[in-house]
Amino acid sequence: MTPKEQRYRDAIAEHERGASIAVLARRLGVKPSTLVWWRSELKRRDRKRGDPGPGPLLPVRVVPPPAPSRDFELSLPGGAQLRIPAGFDTCDFDRLLGVLARHSC
């Protein structure tokens, strides 16, 4: 690949990321039509070489990350761990604490 071709490839890559043809052409010191010609020429060269270029865009669905766990753990005497899941019923939790308090000796 010649330095000239690389220079136009770089400019076309910038255009694909959203840069204006007019701005890029001005930066290169060429007419916008020259940059458009190079874009089609580079696609032609890539097809001739068998380079398919970038693949088709596939649909994606952006999902929010899972909410952080609100579980918590209790370390009991003797090294036992008790994990309390988020949403555990508060009345049941109070009874559990009562049982643990009675049997902590």
Whether 55 maps to a domain, the answer reads: no
Residue 64 near residue 49 (C-beta atoms within 8 A): no
d(CA 85, CA 89): 9
Domain count of the fold of the chain: 2
SS3 89: coil
CA distance 33 to 37: 6
pLDDT band at 45 (very low <50, low <70, confident <90, very high): confident
pLDDT at 105 over 60: no
Q: Is residue 98 part of a domain?
A: yes
**Domain containing residue 92:** 72-102
In a domain, 17, yes or no: yes
| pLDDT class of 53 with cuts at 50, 70, 90 | low
The per-residue pLDDT for range 26-40, each reduced to its tens digit, is: 999 999 999 999 999
Strand partners, 22: none
Q: Over range 33-55, report the average pLDDT.
A: 83
Residue ranges with strand state E in 26-97: 72-75, 81-84
Identify whether residues 45 and 83 lie together within a single domain.
no
With respect to residue 58, please indicate whether it lies within any of the assigned structural domains.
no
CB 19 within 8 A of CB 32: no
43 in any annotated domain: yes
Q: What is the pLDDT of residues 80-103, one digit of tens each?
A: 888 888 888 888 888 888 887 787
